[in-house]
Structure 1
Amino acid sequence: MNKNLIYIGIAVLVGLLAGWLIFGTSVDKSMAVKDVSTMSDDHDHSAETAEGMWTCSMHPQIMQPEPGDCPICGMDLIPAESSADGLAADQFKMTKNAMALANIQTSRVGNAEGKNGNTISLTGKIVENEEANSVQASYFDGRIERLNVSYEGQEVRKGQLLATIYAPNLVAAQQELITTASLKESQPALYKSVRNKLKLWKLSEGQINSIEESGKVLENFPIYATVSGTVSEKMVEEGDYVKQGQPILKLSNLNSVWAEFDAYENQISQFKKGQEIKMTTNAYPNKEFDAIISFIDPVLNTQTRVVTVRATIQNNNNLLKPGMFVAGNIEGVSASKKQQLVVPASAVMWTGERSVVYVKTNPDEPVFEMREVTIGNRNGETYTIIDGLENGDEIVTNGTFTVDAAAQLRGKKSMMNQDNVEDETTIPEMKMELSQEAQKTIEKSLKPYLNMKDAFVEGNIADVSASAKTTLEQLKLIPERDLGKMEQSHISKIKRMLIAINEADNIKNQRDHFVVLNQNMVPLVMNIKNIDPQILIQKCPMANNNKGAFWLSTNKEIRNPYYGEQMMTCGSTIDSL
């Protein structure tokens, strides 16, 4: 019994030893491999972060390839979201599934000619020819007993009976005619005067003779159409009293009509009176109408940035109806000698004041960015692009509005919210906690700062460097224990810029650093209480590559430190402390 127990114990020990030899080594290897893999993953992630983009949580338009602090507020930059993939401020990414569902298509821009060659295409609509319109009026006071025109759109011919009017004045005038007819031999002047009165009321010679011969007074007198046309407006009803000269009907002669087209501002020079326009409409897709330009509006519509070009069309068969939409083509317009970029019309979104397209910035990924363009002539279904695109750019040609909607949802620059992107040169108002000692030290640093600003105005590199060094020495006196994290970031950035200005060997480089210095200096100075003397904040909109830049000054007269003598007075005072 004891011997069996000993055998069992030996067997268990041998089994445990064999298990450790077989599985223990592989587990260690697996753990080692896992550790190596973990180290490798950690290494790759670190490298990925180093190679990624860094942004500011307060100013997401800031994108830098390495960590640091925000040039606007001084806060530490954080890694950009992984979904952003290091995109620029105005760029955004769509999923391939969303692109497929919206049928978004892109194509590359190239130098080419429009399908219709040397042709400008316009859109417009048919309107009444106001020159052919007329008003049928009543020539005497009275009451309308009968109106023979019952609806608008009714055709009227010249000489047609329009209405019958009871006119008391006309009744009296007819009685005078009958009375004076017997005195025409003895008093011819009186007789002639009465006949002329009736003629002024548009009675014909035949009507006057008929009254004279019959000796009967007509109580209800007929009114006949003096012109032919279509009734565009019926202005009275039966039983209405009308005054002499009051309109009864408005008539439109549709034998000729106008086509009013909208021409873009940059197309105006291509048109002139007498040009022929070939015109089509959806009502008669296989028929082409000839029109002649008769008027070009001398005033530009400031809201839509278009000019009305009016053409006259003969409409003898009344095929064209007012309100119809039409398309017109003008042949033989002089083209530019050099080839221009041509894009499909579906790619361009036009807001009235500007035209935009969406450019695919990454050939391998659906990353897009809105870009404003200057368009030229429209040739058929294409636009020529004067400025804003380059040969080879890939743009959205189908689903453009869907892409724009995606940009708006992400808060990116788009057709409707181009002003939403924050201007990094605006003065950031930040609440900072500065001790009395720190405020006094910063206030003392303003004197060498202002000397440096004046040296920039004069373009004196040596004086700029000297003043930067003096300002730096003054700011070093601020004890860091009195500063919070944001305040320390601003002071640190200012110091680095002062060192860079001091060490720079050309004025342009110094001025570039002066832009960043002021982005941190101005918010700092704005938190000094009871500053004396008065400090003015001034800004030049053209500095910093037309993004604008500001500076501090005590002089109300603008003395631009970013351009000096080149543009000494460029800028304005935007605030005072």
Structure 2
Amino acid sequence: MTSNLKLGIAAGFLIAWGLGYYLGQGNTPVAAPHPMQSFVNCAAEATDIYTCSMHLSLEQPEPGQCPACGMKLIKKRLLPQFNPDLVALSDAELLLSGVETQIVGDPKSSRGGIPVSGRLKIPPGQIRRQAAGLPGRIEALYITAEGDYVKKGEPVASIYSKDLIAVVEAFVHNTNSESILRAAKNNLKSWNLDLEVLQQFDVASGQYRHPVTISADYEGYVLEHFTHTGDYTANAHMGAPTTLYTIASLDKLWAVLEVYETQLSSIRLGSQVQLTTEAFPGERFEGRISFISPVVDPDSRTVEVRVELPNPGHRLKPDMLVEGTVESGASSDHSSVLLPRSAILWTGKRSVVYVRDSAFNQPVFRPRTVVLGPSHGDVYTIEEGLASGEEIAVNGVFAIDAAAQLRGGRSMMSPGSVAEEPVAAQH
């Protein structure tokens, strides 16, 4: 090939390239791309990507509706698996982790009251001793079993008393002696007998040496029985009078409750108390605090609080276990709620709880920093951070926090928050 031919071929290539450049690109040269342009575009694209919560493979830069199911598209970064502020668990994970929740303000929670427990007791003033009064020998007992119900004036025992017979004889044969009459009346009064008892003795016929009936002084249930037929009784002149039995009225009972010393600032005399007992499930008994002990038990660090409970029909029984809540008098702010200790995570000065996000069908939790108030045993007052109606994890909280840490999300150890707009519920 000659040199002229080679030059012609080279000139043809240059002409073809020049025509292609000016015909395809125009006369304006193309500017080189900015070195950071690709990163900026990626960041904008990640922020504005919309997807379907049911079809995550679908991605588009603008909101709209999913072509597959028709659901509204949402920002991808708001889904729990892409949001570092949320912890998503499956139903199986929720069950295996032992996670339990409680709605703030739910009647089953301890909101609005201080949890207490204790037992029912008989007020000491309602326990009486039925004394024999009359010295002598017990010929018969009509009340012999504990738990028997006795009415006032009902016969309880029959006693033969030689002292009473001596008084009767002296009274009959010395009706004109003022001193003897006065002595007879005093003896009868000390034995808790009326003058009418003398009418039971017919001295003229000689058939007057017989026992006399003792009647009940009080009405109620027999608590304890002390005597037997054939026993001898004493009166106050002979020492301690003989007690036939003890008896108690159950028209009112005391609920003796234990309150932690840290709870004292929240209770007052007259505070209303609602109590329940396993004997009557679902039924509430109400009373008011009538006594707060001035001393603290050094072992349990509790204070005895007494509540008077009316007991119509005597349905409540002594020594029944009761539990319930005391109306808190510490503050009138109804926004403060109570949560069990198991619901709260402590990290330094911060206190964190996990709130279930109701915007999702699956179990999704969001950490929330709260402000603690006074403690009531194993329950803490939440002064700020929670509102009535929110659902809180009360058990298995460490499992939720561990899942957040493993996924690199926000947890009690990493308090930094990513501000996100709420997600509408997807059904």
Q: Distance in 2 between matches of 1:286 and 1:342?
A: 22
Distance in structure 1 (CA, Å) of the matches to 2:232 and 2:373: 59
The aligned counterpart of 2:208 is 217
2:227 corresponds to 1:236: yes
Which residue of structure 1 aligns with residue 347 of structure 2? none
TM superposition shift of 1:164: 1.1
Identity %: 28
Structure 2 unmatched runs, 5+:
1-92, 236-240, 345-352, 354-371, 387-391, 398-427
In 2, the alpha carbon distance for the partners of 1:120 and 1:284 equals 21
Q: CA deviation at 1:303?
A: 0.7
SS at match of 2:144: coil
Q: Map 1:378-397 to 2 at 5 A.
A: 383-384=379-380
Question: What are the Cα deviations for residues 504-533 of structure 1, in whole angstroms up to 9, with x where unaligned?
Answer: xxxxxxxxxxxxxxxxxxxxxxxxxxxxxx
Tell me if structure 2 keeps the 8 A contact 1:198–1:208. no
**Deviation at 1:222?**
1.4
Distance in 2 (alpha carbons) for counterparts of 1:399 and 1:201: 70
**TM-aligned CA deviation for residue 201 of structure 1:** 1.1
Out of 158, 181, 196, the residue aligned to residue 206 of structure 1 is 196
1: CA distance, partners of 2:232 / 2:259: 47
Local SS of the residue matching 2:286: strand
Partner SS, residue 175 of structure 1: helix
Partners of 2:231 and 2:338 in 1: how far apart? 62
Partner of 1:499: none
Which residue among 79, 104, 112 is the counterpart of 1:118? 112
Alignment partner of 1:293: what SS? strand
Q: Deviations over 1:270-293 (max 9, x none)?
A: 333333222222222232222122
Task: Give me the whole-angstrom Cα distance separating, in 2, the residues matched to 1:320 and 1:346.
Answer: 33
How far the C-alpha of 1:104 sits from its partner, in A, is 4.9
Distance 1:314 1:342 in 2: 29
Query: How far apart are 1:399 and its partner, in Å?
Result: 8.6
- For residue 227 of structure 2, give the secondary structure of its aligned residue in structure 1: coil
CA distance in 2, matches of 1:194, 1:312: 44
1:286 to 1:104, Cα distance in 2 relative to 1, 3 A: closer
Shift of residue 200, structure 1, vs aligned partner = 1.9
Report the AA paired with residue 211 of structure 2. N
Q: SS of the counterpart of 1:274?
A: coil
Shift of 1:327: 1.9
Relative to structure 1, the CA distance from residue 100 to residue 273 in structure 2 (aligned partners, 3 Å threshold; closer, same or farther) is closer
- Which runs of structure 2 are paired with 1:515-526 in the superposition (5 Å)? none
Give 1:376's aligned residue. 375
Is the aligned partner of 1:170 residue 2:158?
Answer: no
Stretch deviating more after TM superposition (161-170 or 305-314): 161-170
Aligned to 2:304: 308
Separation of aligned partners in 1, 2:286 and 2:305: 15
Q: Structure 1 residue 227: deviation in Å?
A: 0.8
Q: Is the 8 A contact 2:289 2:306 kept in 1?
A: yes
Instruction: Kindly report which structure 2 residues correspond to 1:140-151, keeping only aligned pairs within 5 A, or say none.
Output: 140-151=134-145
In the TM superposition, what is the alpha-carbon distance from 1:233 to its structure 2 partner?
Answer: 0.4
Q: Tell me, what secondary structure is at the counterpart of 2:125?
A: helix
1:192 matched to which residue of 2?
182
**How far did 1:134 drift?**
0.5
- The SS at the match of 2:282 is strand
Output the CA distance in 1 between the equivalents of 2:376 and 2:136: 58
- Aligned-partner Cα distance in 1 for 2:203–2:251: 41
Match of 1:156 among 144, 150, 164: 150
Query: How far apart in 2 are the matches of 1:199 and 1:218?
Result: 20
Deviation at 1:300, TM superposition (A): 0.8
Letter in 2 for 1:168: K
* 1:192 CA drift (Å): 2.9
2:126 maps to 132
Structure 1 residues 279, 376: CA separation in 2 closer, same or farther (over 3 Å shift)?
same
Instruction: Give 1:177 deviation, angstroms.
Output: 2.0
Of the three residues 323, 329, 340, the one matched with 2:325 is 329
Task: Give the gaps of 5 or more residues in structure 1.
Answer: 1-98, 349-358, 360-372, 401-577
Q: Does the residue aligned with 1:145 lie in a helix, a strand or coil?
A: strand
Note if contact 1:278-1:291 (Cα within 8 Å) is conserved in structure 2: yes
Deviations 1:183-222 (A, max 9, x none): x23x233223223322221111221244378765343121
Superposition deviation, residue 153 in structure 1: 0.5
Opposite residue 119 of structure 1, the aligned amino acid is G
Contact 2:112 / 2:327 at 8 angstroms: preserved in 1? yes
Judge conservation of contact 1:129–1:253 (CA < 8 Å) in 2.
Answer: no
In structure 1, what residue type is equivalent to 2:258? D
Q: Is the 8 A contact 1:118 1:335 kept in 2?
A: no
Mapping 1:431-450, distance limit 5 Å: none
Q: Deviations over 1:157-196 (max 9, x none)?
A: 000111112222222222222222xxx23x2332232233
The residue that corresponds to 2:73 in the other structure is: none
SS in structure 1 of the partner of residue 192 of structure 2: coil
SS at match of 1:164: strand
The aligned counterpart of 2:243 is 247
Q: Report what 1:479 is aligned to.
A: none
Q: What is the DSSP-based 3-state SS (H/G/I as helix, E as strand, rest coil) of the residue aligned with 1:194?
A: helix
Query: 1:294·1:312 contact (CA, 8 Å) conserved in 2?
Result: yes
Q: In structure 2, do the counterparts of structure 1 residues 323 and 189 end up closer, same or farther at CA, with 3 Å as the change threshold?
A: same
- Once residues 258 and 123 of structure 1 are traced to their aligned partners in structure 2, the CA distance between those partners, rounded to angstroms, is 13
Quote the RMSD (CA, aligned, Å).
3.9
Alpha-carbon distance, 1:105 to partner:
4.5
Write the letter of the residue equivalent to 2:269. Answer: K
